[in-house]
Amino acid sequence: MTSASTNGIAINGTEVFDLLRDDLAAIEREFGRDTVSGVMAITEIGEYLRAGGGKRIRPALLLLSSKLFNYDGRGAVKLGAVVEIIHTATLVHDDIIDEAKTRRGRPAANTQWGNSKCVLAGDWLYMQAFKVAVQERNFRILDALIELTQQMVEGELLQMEKLGKLISLAEHFDLIYRKTACLFSVCMRMGAILAGATAEQEEQVGRYGRDLGMAFQIVDDVLDLTASEEILGKPVASDLREGKVTMAVIHALERCAADERQMIKMVVKDRAFNGVTHADILRILSCYGSLDAANALAAQYADSARKAICTFPDSEIKRALLWAPEFVVAREK
């Protein structure tokens, strides 16, 4: 387990989760309560999704941000559930759009209940998240959540327009900001807003969240290409099968020979490995150091995240936030 330190005092992952254990357990209970509806299908889908687990990184960031500014109220637990419900709603809609069969090693919800019910359950989850958030009576938090959901929906639409196409790195980074990094950033900002932090402090932790989210997604995209199906809990190279090019692939496309470019283009356009194997693509990526380049950029974003909060006074919470980028870059699933 990696550790982070300031003033020579290290903290590791176990200690971070010990710091947050009670609050994360409270968020899990809140999530369970908030996803109960008078309509049985919504309750069943909500419980199925909650029981699927996940890393709960987003609510953990909101908790850490609020604690960084010594917040001690109930709002962080309620809003931690809100961000996890929003994240869950996006996954439901993503799986429908991507026609996914599995998620986290289990059948995707849409394979169990069908697309129509899952679209509506996702919509209900979004609205429920806002209903809970309104209870905080804080317009800045609502503004942040509204901006977030618009960015995420726009990101999904932009991605759909680019499926099967060879996009630029700038377009790719815009997509991963909208789909992942924006939520990480808003989690950090909401913790600061709850605690009454200054605008400058909110901007600092928001930048930390954004850069951490960029690192997280770049690593995610590399793992999609390199990890095993058992570890990922879904088919390998899902992105290519869905017609999506990610950073390592774009890096190789900018450098490879015409015949290699044609091989990649064929997989992306067909959204299938017809006559070109996953091993062929990995060979091209390895030849041009593209996986290493993606990992190196993820490490740069992780470093940038740490720098964004380096001026805050030393504390257990700050050390936990300094550890998180190391965890994100070193993870294997």
> How do residues 296-326 score in pLDDT, each as one tens digit?
999 999 999 999 999 999 999 999 999 999 9
Question: Going from the N-terminus, what domains does the chain have, and what CATH number goes with each?
Answer: 11-330 (1.10.600.10)
- Those residues whose C-beta lies under 8 Å from the C-beta of residue 271, and which sit 6 or more positions away, are 163, 164, 240, 241, 242, 243
8 has a pLDDT exceeding 70: no
Three-state SS at 4: strand
| pLDDT above 70 for 15 | yes
Residue 12 host element (H or E)? strand 9-12
Interacting residues of 324 by C-beta distance below 8 A, sequence separation 6+: 16, 57, 61, 64, 212, 305
Q: Is the pLDDT of residue 211 over 80?
A: yes
Alpha carbon distances (Å) from 248 to 72, 169, 216, 253? 42, 10, 14, 9
Q: What percent of the chain has pLDDT over 70?
A: 97
Strand partners of residue 5: 10
CA 263 – CA 276 distance, rounded (Å): 7
Q: Rounded to two decimals, what is the model's pTM? A: 0.93
152 — pLDDT class (breaks 50, 70, 90): very high
Give the pLDDT confidence score for residue 10 in this predicted structure: 63
| Rounded Cα–Cα distance for residues 109 and 49 (Å) | 7
Look up residue 247 and give its two tokens.
Answer: 């950073």
Stretch (H or E) spanning 307:
helix 290-308
Report which residue type is found at 245. Answer: V
pLDDT in tens, 247-287: 999 999 999 999 999 999 999 999 999 999 999 999 999 99
d(CA 57, CA 185): 12
pLDDT higher than threshold 70 for residue 2: no
pLDDT given at position 4: 53
Mean pLDDT, residues 113-131: 97
What is the residue-averaged pLDDT of the chain?
94
Helix (H, G, I), strand (E, B) or coil at 38: coil
The secondary structure of 84-142 as a DSSP string is: HHHHHHHHHHHHHHHT-SEETTEE-HHHHH-HHHHHHHHHHHHHHHHHHHHTT--HHHH
Span 157-173, pLDDT tens digits: 999 999 999 999 999 99
Question: Would you say residue 131 has pLDDT above 80?
Answer: yes
Q: Please choose, from the candidates 112, 69, 94, the residue with its C-alpha nearest in 3D space to the C-alpha of residue 313.
A: 69
Whole-angstrom distance, CA of residue 305 vs CA of residue 321: 9
